[in-house]
Amino acid sequence: MALDENSRLRYTMHMHKIHDTAVITSKETLQDHLVLTEEELAFDPSINSSLPLSIPSYFLNLIDPQNPDDPLRKQVVPSVNEQLPDLGAMKDPLAEVSHSVTERLIHRYPARVAFLTTDICPMYCRHCFRRRFTGTFQGPASEKQTEEAAQYVADHRQVTEILFTGGDVLTLSDSRLEQMIRAFRSKRPDLIIRICTRMPASYPMRITDGLITMLKQFDTAPFYLMTQFNHPKELTEQATGAVNRFVDAGIPAMNQTVLLSGVNDEVSVLEDLCNKLLFNRIKPYYLFQGDLVEGTAHFRVPLEKGLALEEELRKRLSGLAMPVYAIDLPNGGGKVPLSRAYLIGKNAENAWLFKTTEGEIRTYPDPLTQR
Ligand SMILES: *Cc1c(COP(=O)(O)O)cnc(C)c1O
Ligand code: SF4
């Protein structure tokens, strides 16, 4: 969807409270802060399918302007790499469109659904896997779209959890979010709601006492906060403070990290990230292998390297600090865990053969009566 610069700005400014902070939305203003590299300069924002540029000044200030390879910069400053041909990549590799049961509701797994609350984000991550939808300026789900989705969930009792995703759900105002929660919980008081948001990383000031108070009135089922921190530098005092507000209110926090080349594909970085998350009461939940989404090839880490990182992390991290390394398989295959094989097979005596994390061999026989 083509939109002129004015409507883009209007949408960005529309966001709750963000009008009192600066948001960088053009290459020209970005150049006041950073000396752009050749690849960054070559990005052409007029190409229709491109993800918009938006960086809150809070996040921009975390970037080291002297370092063209800054891990935060890589995530938010557009580069021509997004616009190079990407063989084998797709617009919608997870087949979300064909799994949509209403305009904004995706039902791919039996017990959980994902609701696209809005396509708007305060900050557009260049690795975003939902680029077919994100930043297309369609705006928040309408009352009708919300009602349809709520009715679907009411009619499908096997659905126990809903993901409020997008886009970033916390770009909605508190009152709009309240209406949305009420639409679902009035029909399904038992529905677990996951608030999937990058706001604690991108614009932590959005998480106010007012938001938490609003959420607390819905006490018939739990909320879970699903964050996305990709690098330890994102865990500022403001960011962890924002998450603390949820956790203090009884809303557990889980983090989903995207494995990104040149950002966090180093064991020491991931180790530090996971330990800092855990220390701040955020459970490392998933570490995602990059999806085959057009325009993100330069971020994808070869699977062999990912497996080696997972193996080393498993040795270094506690069980609580260890995320599940997972891949969302193309053509809507769904998520599966990725790990080196520890279970090798069976030996001649029909006992299971295992490899330990140190590479030694152990056997484990089933009970004799049940072989
Ligand atoms: C990832 C995802 C979920 C949630 O999966 P979990 O493994 O439970 O975190 C639900 N619906 C869709 C469409 C998803 O992509
Ligand atoms: S916040 Fe989420 S939806 Fe928005 S651009 Fe980043 S990854 Fe995509």
The pLDDT of residue 371: 63
Joined tokens for residue 213 = 């108070």
Please check whether residue 31 lies inside any domain of the structure.
Answer: yes
For ligand 1, say whether the CB of 226 is within 6 Å of any of its atoms. Answer: no
Residue appearing with tokens 């002297």:
66
From first to last of its 371 residues, the chain has per-residue pLDDT tens of 344 444 554 455 444 445 446 899 999 999 999 999 999 999 998 887 789 999 999 999 999 999 999 999 999 999 999 999 887 899 999 999 999 999 999 999 999 999 999 999 999 999 999 999 999 999 999 999 999 999 999 999 999 999 999 999 999 999 999 999 999 999 999 999 999 999 999 999 999 999 999 999 999 999 999 999 999 999 999 999 999 999 999 999 999 999 999 999 999 999 999 999 999 999 999 999 999 999 999 999 999 999 999 999 999 999 999 999 999 999 999 999 999 999 999 999 999 999 999 999 999 999 987 76
CB 133 within 8 A of CB 119: yes
Do residues 317 and 271 lie in contact, with contact meaning Cβ atoms separated by under 8 Å? Answer: yes
> Does residue 124 have its Cβ closer than 6 Å to ligand 2?
yes
Phi, psi of 354 (to 5 degrees): -120, 150
* Enclosing domain of residue 362: 342-371
Backbone torsion region of residue 233, taken as left when φ is above 0, otherwise alpha when ψ lies between -120 and 50, otherwise beta? alpha
CA 328/CA 145 separation, integer angstroms: 26
Is 328 catalytic? The answer is yes
**Domain check: are 327 and 349 in the same one?**
no
Reply yes or no on whether 291 is catalytic. Answer: yes
Question: In terms of domains, do 54 and 170 share one?
Answer: no
Identify the three-state secondary structure at position 284: strand
Predicted local distance difference test score (pLDDT) of residue 322: 98
Q: If residue 334 lies in a helix (H) or strand (E), which one and from where to where? A: strand 334-337
CA of 128 to the centre of ligand 2 (A): 5
Same domain, 279 and 361: no
Mutate to test the pocket of ligand 1, among 99, 105, 109 (most ligand atoms within 8 A of CB): 109
Residue 296 shares a structural domain with residue 173: yes
Do 109 and 212 share a structural domain?
yes
Q: Is 112 in the pocket of ligand 1 (CB under 6 A)?
A: yes
Separation of 53 CA from ligand 2 center, angstroms?
12
User: Which residues, in sequence order, are CB contacts of 211 under 8 Å at separation 6+?
Assistant: 170, 174, 177
How many other CB atoms are there within 10 angstroms of residue 23's CB atom? 22
Nearest-atom index, ligand 1, CA of 108: 13
Q: What is the DSSP string of 35-47?
A: ---HHHHT--TTS
Choose among 254, 246, 191: nearest CA to 228.
254
For residue 91, being part of any structural domain is answered with: no
Looking at the structure, do residues 362 and 324 belong to the same domain, yes or no? no
Give the number of other CB atoms < 10 A from CB of residue 294. 18
Asked, for residue 95, whether it belongs to a domain, the answer is no
CATH number of domain containing 289: 3.20.20.70
Element (H, E) at 329: strand 324-329
In a domain, 92, yes or no: no
Q: Tell me whether residue 196 is one of the annotated catalytic residues.
A: no
Model pLDDT, residue 48:
75
Q: How far is the CA of 17 from the centre of ligand 1 (A)?
A: 30
Residue 342 annotated to the active site: no
Say if residues 232 and 273 touch (Cβ distance below 8 Å).
yes
Residue pair 63/72 in contact by the 8 Å Cβ criterion: yes
Unique residue bearing structure tokens 């956790």: 247
Residues 233 and 196 in one domain: yes
Q: For residue 34, tell me if it sits in a domain.
A: yes
Co-location of 301 and 237 in the same domain = yes
> Are residues 118 and 228 both part of a single domain?
yes
Report which secondary-structure segment, H or E, holds 100: strand 100-102
Residues 320 and 368 occupy one common structural domain = no
Same domain, 74 and 160: no
Q: Which two tokens stand for residue 330?
A: 């193309």
Tell me the CB-side half-sphere exposure of residue 141, using CA atoms within 13 A: 28
**How many angstroms is it from 167 CA to the middle of ligand 2?**
6
Residue 13 in tokens: 């400014």
The answer to whether 130 is a known catalytic residue is: yes
Q: At what angle do helices 303-316 and 267-279 cross, to 10 degrees?
A: 50
CA 275 to chain centre: 19
Give the total number of structural domains in the chain. 3
Together in a domain, 307 and 293: yes
